[in-house]
Amino acid sequence: MYYIAEVSSNHASSLERCIKFIEVSKEIGCNAVKFQLFKLDELFSIEARKSNPRFEDRRRWELPVHFLPDLKKACVKNNIDFSCTPFYLTAVEELTDYVDFYKIASYELLWLDLLEKTAKTGKKIILSTGMASIEEIDSAVEHLMKHNVSEFELLHCISGYPTALKDCNLSAIEALRVRYGVNVGWSDHSVNPVVVSRAVNHWQASTVEFHLDLDGEGDEFQTGHCWLPDQIGSVISGTQNISVIDGDGVKEPALSEVFERGWRADPSDGLRPLLATRKKL
């Protein structure tokens, strides 16, 4: 299993906080940490920004490009992969010396120029498929293959924040894997341990990406789709060590059952506990 902690916009443009995300991601068992590289003016059209002045608040969510060398250095120090999502074309070039792989967001799936430029770097691409139709995914995959992508993986996700259980449609993980013959993971917006465990243990998701916040103070935490470290840490440890629950197949009382065995109904009168236990009361 490969876990990616998505920092998203919870870093507050603070290098110290960014590095803390890297350290915590490693501590809770993640294999990679992912940031986003965007500029507001190259993310939303002028019409969108004029129609919603609140978009302007997102300027403080921008990741300073000059952080990249320090973030890479911190990832190397903590033995965790570094990834980032490019949201404008020149971001691909700005990232290429630092990232272990690129992540393309589902909102950019239709932007074939971005897919092409990223594929030509020769690095692995993980592509989210949230809100896309199968025809749109076909087009994106075909374009990646056309431009000789070295390796790519898909993530099934639902672009609803947070995602309701009824919308998760985890069986799409298998459907995408069969259709394209590549690894398919789950990008989680549900913040539900049952969903993540089901994606991993039943649908064999190759990767789980999730939004992380350190302390509930991140800009995106209030939206309800971000995990805190202690919440997701227990999920990661549980899914990575899931084989422990299979046991050895020998049917015999577990140590935790020894006390309760004495409190079963006695066959002589059907009352609890056993006669031997009653004598000790």
CATH number of the domain residue 32 falls in:
3.20.20.70
| DSSP code of residue 279 | T
Does residue 190 sit in the same domain as residue 57?
yes
Report whether pLDDT(92) > 60.
yes
pLDDT digits (tens, 9 = 90+) for 237-254: 887 665 555 677 887 887
Does residue 237 sit in the same domain as residue 258?
no
pLDDT of 261 reads 87
Query: Rounded distance, CA 62 to CA 73, Å?
Result: 20
pLDDT digits (tens, 9 = 90+) for 93-150: 999 999 999 999 999 999 999 999 999 999 999 999 999 999 999 999 999 999 999 9
pLDDT of 150 reads 95
Does residue 179 sit in the same domain as residue 266?
no
pLDDT of 243 reads 57
The predicted model scores a pTM of 0.86
Does residue 54 sit in the same domain as residue 193?
yes
Report whether pLDDT(35) > 60.
yes
pLDDT digits (tens, 9 = 90+) for 144-182: 999 999 999 999 999 999 999 999 999 999 999 999 999
Pairing assessment for the beta strands 101-104 and 124-128 based on DSSP bridges = parallel
Does residue 149 sit in the same domain as residue 261?
no
Does residue 271 sit in the same domain as residue 152?
no
Does residue 66 sit in the same domain as residue 126?
yes
Does residue 210 sit in the same domain as residue 271?
no
Does residue 99 sit in the same domain as residue 238?
yes
Distance of CA 124 to the CA centre of its chain: 17
Number of domains the chain is built from: 2
Which residue range(s) make up the domain with 254?
A: 250-281
